[in-house]
Amino acid sequence: MTQAEIAVDRVTHRYGDRTVLEEVTVRLTEHRVGVIGANGSGKSTFARLLNGLVLPSAGTVTVDGLDTRRDGKAVRRKVGFIFTDPDAQIVMPTVAEDIAFGMRRLKLPEEQVRQRVAELIARFGLSGLEDHPAHLLSGGQKQLLALAAVLAPEPDILVCDEPTTLLDLRNTRRFSALLETLEQRVVLVTHHLELLENFDRVLVFDEGRLIEDTKPAVAVATYRKLMT
Amino acid sequence: MIGLYHPADSPLHRAPVGLKLAVLLGAMVVLFGVGGPVVVTVALVVTVVAYAVAKIPWRLGLAQLRPVLWVIGVAAGFHLFTSGPQHAAVVAGQLLVAVALAALLTLTTRVSAMLRVFETAARPFRPLGVDPARVALLLALTIRCVPLLINILGTVREARQARGVGRNPLALVTPAVVRALRTADELGEALAARGVDD
Ligand SMILES: Nc1ncnc2c1ncn2[C@@H]1O[C@H](COP(=O)(O)OP(=O)(O)OP(=O)(O)O)[C@@H](O)[C@H]1O
Ligand SMILES: [Mg+2]
């Protein structure tokens, strides 16, 4: 049996001759993992490594035993990804259609798709908006839709890259409250430090290096010191 | 105008999409192929009746036409000077009916149903290397991208006005293209993340 673990092993990543992640090694098994750090410190690159959107220049990333380089497709099925800009991740024209998208690609039976869409729409407070054009939703609703759509094919892990950066306070709280209810493992990159309060573990990046890996309170203190 | 499905219980909503598309196509052929004042008048009446049957509120119906009114105005104006008032009226009527009927199709049909029809229609071409699911996805993305682009143009125009940059079209095009490319990039990434592999 393969264990439930994200294993980043001596990963270095370069864009051109610029090194943006250097010798990062970390094993993640916790239910809730936060990632913080300054702009440009490599958080997004780290997040993208976890579902194979970015392949490491050196080193390996495996998710529950699957290598992102070799088993990219299986990894992406296992790891859902939420981006910052909800507009850019909604790919279908209407709410119900976008939620159904991932399941249709997996060729799930139509009856099951319909039922799951209805379930998620109710759970994410989008009732009545089934056939609503996605582009007419508010920013907060769009991000909830993105979350519903990514959860629909039932990934085991959810990686979120600053999902609340473009949301107001109320929607940020709503989003994080929903995140809390998920049974999935979550890796959350964020500048909203208060969202990490109850997390199991928080990683701090600085200039491409993993400089701290500890409990939220300590990590946040390190980060604050870094920012002065 | 795109994707504005108006839910209601009517025979037009229940009719199969394929049939609706076929009727729309037939109507266009008659409207533009045969033409003439009689056909156009009948078509106008039929269109109004169809909207009533579909239980579309008249405000919503008129809203469908607003974006194209100026095009129709220009076309009619052109014909008014080149071939007289009757022909101009016929042309205006033809365009009006064509747009109204196309809009009626989107008002009474879910995008998902429409996509499924295109997916089915593309199936016979599979031996030629056409992937029906991909055709449907392409269409969906096209529909999806129109509001995205309009949104980008709007934002860039506002930013330009706020900074007091004059009417130089380059000042609109350059940032709009940059943003559109970035959005395309992000959309591509999101598609990959959601399991669309090339
Ligand atoms: N596709 C790319 N091509 C070239 N350089 C890139 C690319 N993506 C990121 N970079 C560079 O890599 C470095 C790390 O970027 P990354 O996006 O991982 O940082 P981040 O911690 O997520 O920052 P932010 O808080 O601003 O989102 C930055 O200097 C960035 O300019
Ligand atoms: Mg980032």
Q: What is the pLDDT of residues A38-66, one digit of tens each?
A: 999 999 999 999 999 999 999 999 999 99
The percentage of chain B sitting over the pLDDT mark of 90, rounded to a whole number, equals: 30
The pLDDT, as a whole number, for residue B45 is: 96
- DSSP code, position A7: E
Chain A environment of B144 (Cβ under 8 Å): 90-93, 134-135
Q: Which residue among B112, B143, B195 sits closest to A77, beta carbon to beta carbon?
A: B195
The pLDDT, as a whole number, for residue B93 is: 93
Range of the domain at A77: 6-227
Ligand 1 atom closest to the Cα of residue A48 is 18
Q: Please tell me the distance from the alpha carbon of residue A220 to that of residue A226, in angstroms, as a whole number.
A: 10
When pLDDT is cut at 50, 70 and 90, the band that residue B132 belongs to is: confident
Paired tokens of B89: 């009226």
In angstroms, what CA-CA distances link B46 with A4, B59, B67? Answer: 63, 18, 22
- Site to substitute for ligand 1 among A11, A17, A24, A43, most atoms within 8 A of C-beta: A43
CATH number, domain of A145, equals 3.40.50.300
pLDDT at residue B124 is higher than 70: yes
In a domain, A1, yes or no: no
Decide if B104 contacts B15 (C-beta within 8 A). Answer: no
- Find the mean pLDDT for residues B165-174: 72
Q: Cβ–Cβ of B111/A106 closer than 8 Å? A: no
The pLDDT, as a whole number, for residue A98 is: 92
Ligand 1 atom closest to the Cα of residue A21 is 14
Ligand 1 atom closest to the Cα of residue A16 is 4
The pLDDT, as a whole number, for residue B198 is: 52
- Count of residues for chain A? 228
A44 Cα to the center of ligand 1, angstroms: 7
Q: Cβ–Cβ of B115/A153 closer than 8 Å? A: no
Q: Cβ–Cβ of A131/B110 closer than 8 Å? A: yes
The pLDDT, as a whole number, for residue B166 is: 65
Strands A58-63 and A6-15, bridge-based pairing: antiparallel
In a domain, A25, yes or no: yes
Highest-confidence range of A43-52, B57-66, B113-122, B128-137, by mean pLDDT?
A43-52
The structural domain count of chain A equals: 1
In a domain, A145, yes or no: yes
Chain B environment of A81 (Cβ under 8 Å): 190, 193-194
pLDDT < 70 regions, chain A? 1-2
The ipTM, to two decimals, is 0.83
The pLDDT, as a whole number, for residue B1 is: 41
Decide if A195 contacts A164 (C-beta within 8 A). Answer: yes
Chain A environment of B190 (Cβ under 8 Å): 81, 83, 88-89, 91
Paired tokens of A113: 């798709």
Q: Could you tell me where the DSSP H helices lie in A42-164?
A: 43-49, 72-78, 86-89, 95-105, 110-123, 139-151
In a domain, A138, yes or no: yes
